[in-house]
């Protein structure tokens, strides 16, 4: 599962690859391969030949999913994103707590296999999220286990610059995360005490100026705000927003036009709604260090993220329930997972692992406040990740513990989500990344390198 080896690739027969229609989607799904290396406890992969990164095609008319390939890439690919400057490259991150995670550069072949090009250390353990600065010269790698955010220099071709000398300041560790280096906690300790030390979970950029970055930390109940010095790749702290204890914030999304942000809180299964008040001077291209906040205590409550609302993602009768894990640990019966804004900005979805459901919210377009529309079952167990596809026509859900995907149709007028297709045999799905089929010519731009022609795309 490491290095450049591409063993145990499963490719569907040519007769099943078929012709892609322009409104189809290519779905790349991350999958866990080595559960023993993870901070959490997914079911172990019992068939290595079927574990890795999966490639599916989704019919843009029916939502049906067709398996194209499973690629033995790992360990534990848990985030996938396309290069913002080189459309033929995909980046994937790996999660492990015993060693540094890695950033893998991937390319897709004409028969929809994934070929590994390079690997580079991610600067921390359990690498769970990737993002880019405004100039697209730097990649931000978020590492959950030791709460490190690492800045990686990108070359002109979009590939990580393996030869670049890292500025020590380009790896930022959240206050208190040195606990990992001093104590060397075990995953068993983590299961019992989810907030004993910091756990950075994502880094998201506001869409209004594209210059201010928000790092969400589950262990500290905080959202940190940064700018990036594009010359040095150094993250400059600007402030932080503190949440009530025990929420365990996980992922953050912004409304595309209304100045509002939505934060899913994993530990208490809620969604916090914030007004976004970014100082104008923070959004100028060269405003890096002026007014920088370099101490943990320089919070400005309400200055950047102002709490406006907080709603549960669970039905009322499920809220506050607890259970005992297979490891004998009492915990909440359900934990929130992903949050995804619909392309139209009028809705967003939140996953519930344990209740095994998707909660759908509507967004008031005047003030950004939300209302719960519905909660529907996810089609399997542990909906860890999902994504809107085909312009928001469908929601594709990865159900981690039942090794299956579900396609939900979405009615924008009524807000109704309905399962229309289920696909089994997708082992341990943990991340869902969609690419429109019409973009295949740029994704597979060098088909000659792989000895084949581009996939056919119907007119």
Q: What is the pLDDT of residues 342-369, one digit of tens each?
A: 999 999 999 999 999 999 999 999 999 9
* Cβ burial, residue 6 (10 Å; 0-12/13-18/19+): middle
Q: What is the pLDDT of residues 128-166, one digit of tens each?
A: 999 999 999 999 999 999 999 999 999 989 998 876 656
Chain centroid offset of residue 91 CA? 12
Structural domain spans, the chain:
25-448
Q: What is the pLDDT of residues 7-65, one digit of tens each?
A: 456 665 544 556 678 899 999 999 999 999 999 989 888 888 899 999 999 999 999 99
Nearest Cα to 433, choosing from 108, 43, 162? 108
Distance between CA atoms of residues 355 and 366, nearest Å: 32
Q: In this model, does residue 294 exceed pLDDT 50?
A: no
pLDDT confidence bin for 374, thresholds 50/70/90: very high
Q: What is the pLDDT of residues 229-251, one digit of tens each?
A: 888 889 999 999 999 999 999 99
Q: How many residues does the chain have?
A: 459
pLDDT confidence bin for 5, thresholds 50/70/90: very low
Q: What is the pLDDT of residues 103-114, one digit of tens each?
A: 999 999 999 999
Residue linked to tokens 């991350």 = 30
Is the separation of the CB atoms in 387 and 374 below 8 Å? no
Q: Is domain 25-448 given the CATH code 2.130.10.10 in the classification?
A: yes
Q: In this model, does residue 204 exceed pLDDT 60?
A: yes
């Amino acid at each position: 599962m490491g290095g450049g080896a591409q063993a145990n690739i499963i490719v569907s027969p040519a007769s099943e690859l078929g012709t892609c229609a322009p409104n189809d989607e290519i779905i790349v799904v991350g999958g866990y391969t080595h559960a023993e290396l993870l901070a959490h406890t997914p079911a172990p992969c019992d068939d290595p030949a079927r574990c890795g990164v999966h490639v599916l095609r989704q019919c843009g008319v029916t939502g049906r999913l067709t398996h194209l390939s499973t690629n033995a890439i790992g360990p534990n690919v848990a985030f996938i994103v396309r290069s913002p400057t080189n459309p033929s490259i995909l980046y994937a991150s790996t999660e492990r707590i015993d060693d540094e995670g890695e950033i893998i550069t991937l390319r897709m072949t004409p028969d929809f296999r994934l070929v590994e090009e390079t690997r580079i250390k991610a600067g921390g353990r359990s690498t769970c999220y990737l993002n880019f600065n405004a100039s697209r010269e730097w990649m931000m790698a978020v590492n959950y286990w030791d709460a490190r955010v690492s800045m990686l220099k990108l070359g002109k071709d979009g590939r990580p610059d393996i030869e670049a000398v890292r500025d020590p300041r380009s790896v930022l560790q959240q206050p208190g995360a040195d606990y990992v280096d001093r104590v060397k906690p075990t995953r068993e300790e983590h299961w019992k005490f989810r907030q004993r030390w910091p756990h950075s979970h994502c880094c998201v950029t506001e869409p209004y100026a594209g210059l201010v970055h928000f790092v969400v930390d589950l262990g500290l109940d905080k959202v940190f705000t940064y700018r990036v010095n594009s010359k040095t790749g150094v993250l400059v702290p600007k402030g932080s927003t503190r949440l009530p204890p025990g929420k365990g914030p996980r992922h953050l999304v912004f409304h595309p036009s209304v100045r509002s942000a939505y934060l899913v809180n994993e530990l208490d299964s809620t969604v916090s709604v914030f007004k976004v008040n970014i100082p104008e001077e923070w959004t100028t291209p060269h405003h890096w260090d002026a007014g920088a906040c370099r101490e943990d205590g320089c919070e400005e409550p309400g200055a950047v993220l102002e709490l406006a609302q907080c709603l549960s993602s669970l039905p009322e009768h499920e809220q506050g329930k607890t259970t005992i894990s297979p490891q004998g640990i009492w915990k909440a019966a359900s934990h929130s997972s992903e949050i995804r804004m619909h392309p139209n900005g009028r809705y967003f979805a939140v996953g519930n692992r344990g209740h095994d459901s998707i909660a759908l919210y509507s967004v008031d377009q005047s003030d950004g406040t939300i209302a719960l529309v519905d909660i529907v079952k996810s089609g399997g167990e542990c909906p860890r990740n999902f994504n809107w596809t085909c312009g928001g026509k469908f929601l594709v859900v990865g159900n981690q513990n039942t090794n299956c995907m579900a396609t939900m149709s979405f009615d924008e007028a009524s807000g109704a989500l309905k399962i229309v297709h289920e696909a089994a045999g997708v082992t341990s799905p943990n991340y869902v990344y969609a690419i429109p089929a019409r973009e295949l010519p740029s994704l597979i731009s060098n088909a000659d390198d792989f000895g084949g022609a581009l996939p056919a795309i119907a007119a």
